[in-house]
């Protein structure tokens, strides 16, 4: 798709956002279920543009995936877990241990690593927005896939244990932990939103486009959103905190037999 066409669609998206606001205003007497509301917005996007914002973003990620870096190589030379060039289903297996970097990596940190080691970018040249778009593209190839994060390597097991510890650690000005909300209040609603525990499938809908924020969120972005909401400074992208929590949450989702929803998801 041409850049011009994308711009037109994005511009129209702004107009539609305003329209959505109007609709929300006129209907405010009756609070909508957040999932029904998301489905309604999704239908509106499809009817108006014939394409979802997440699909445009995936197309952007695909272009970046095939762009040559300073080394002359594209991300096709990166091993995401099933060998170089294979991206089908890899998101469902991550985080996992990679011998070449000596680290347990989630998809986002793996993209960040390969843009440096394979493509030759300097760390400061790797743009977060590009990693995000590429993550959307690769994750879209695991849409509906069964989540299969089973820590086996000692470093994977250590990462899982760290994630579990972080999950239960109370911190910040409100002395909160992830578990306080996501387990004690699991199945209930916090500000209209149903709260889930990892065993109930927390994490199976990311990466996603959030229409309320008009923004694209990866799983690391989503974790940051919760950290911010309890007044704890966001951890660095690609850091152990993100990877450990992701390992813990998705390993628990694996035990409960969950699959990813349609990726990238469309949500509020």
The span of 50-58, 132-140, 149-157, 223-231 binding ligand HEC (CB under 6 A) equals 223-231
Beta-bridged to residue 210, according to DSSP, are 215, 267
Tell whether residue 178 is a contact of ligand HEC (CB under 6 A).
yes
Tell whether residue 176 is a contact of ligand HEC (CB under 6 A).
yes
6 a catalytic residue:
no
- Residue given tokens 């990679």 in the structure block: 98
Tell whether residue 226 is a contact of ligand HEC (CB under 6 A).
yes
Tell whether residue 182 is a contact of ligand HEC (CB under 6 A).
yes
Q: Strand runs (DSSP E) across the chain, as ranges? A: 96-98, 103-105, 189-190, 193-194, 208-210, 215-217, 265-267
- The percent helix, strand, coil of the chain (3-state, each to 5) is 50, 10, 40
User: At closest approach, how far in Å is the CB of 227 from ligand HEC?
Assistant: 5
Q: By C-beta, is 127 or 174 nearer to ligand HEC?
A: 174
User: At closest approach, how far in Å is the CB of 240 from ligand HEC?
Assistant: 14
Residue of 226, 230, 232, 261 marked catalytic: 226
Buried b (16+ CB within 10 A) or exposed e, 158-186: bbbebbbebbeeeeeeeebbbbebbbeeb
Phi/psi of residue 82, nearest 5 degrees: -120, 20
- Enumerate residues 238-257 that contact ligand HEC by CB under 6 A: 245
Tell whether residue 263 is a contact of ligand HEC (CB under 6 A).
no
d(CA 214, CA 146): 28
Tell whether residue 1 is a contact of ligand HEC (CB under 6 A).
no
User: At closest approach, how far in Å is the CB of 162 from ligand HEC?
Assistant: 13
Catalytic residues: 226
């Amino acid at each position: 798709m041409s850049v011009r066409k994308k711009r037109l669609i994005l511009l129209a998206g702004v107009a539609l956002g305003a329209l959505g606001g109007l609709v929300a205003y006129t209907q405010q007497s009756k609070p909508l279920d957040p999932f029904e509301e998301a489905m309604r917005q999704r239908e509106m996007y499809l009817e108006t543009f014939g394409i979802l914002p997440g699909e445009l973003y995936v197309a952007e990620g695909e272009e970046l995936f095939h762009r040559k870096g300073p080394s002359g190589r594209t991300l096709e030379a990166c091993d995401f877990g099933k060998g170089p060039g294979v991206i089908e289903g890899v998101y469902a297996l991550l985080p996992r241990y990679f011998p070449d970097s000596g680290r347990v990596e989630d998809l986002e940190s793996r993209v960040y690593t390969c843009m440096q080691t394979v493509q030759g970018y300097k760390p400061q040249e790797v743009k977060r927005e590009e990693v995000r778009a590429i993550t959307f593209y690769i994750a879209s190839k695991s849409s509906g896939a069964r989540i299969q994060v089973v820590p086996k390597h000692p470093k994977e097991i250590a990462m899982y244990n760290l994630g579990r510890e972080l999950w239960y650690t109370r911190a910040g000005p409100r002395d909160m932990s992830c578990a306080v909300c996501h387990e004690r209040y699991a199945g209930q609603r916090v500000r209209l939103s149903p709260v889930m525990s990892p065993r109930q499938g927390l994490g199976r809908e990311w990466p996603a486009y959030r229409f309320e924020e008009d923004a694209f969120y990866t799983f690391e972005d989503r974790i940051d959103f919760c950290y911010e909401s309890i007044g704890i400074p966001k951890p660095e992208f690609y850091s152990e905190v993100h990877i450990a929590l992701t390992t813990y949450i998705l390993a628990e989702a694996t035990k409960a037999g969950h699959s990813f929803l349609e990726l990238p998801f469309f949500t509020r």
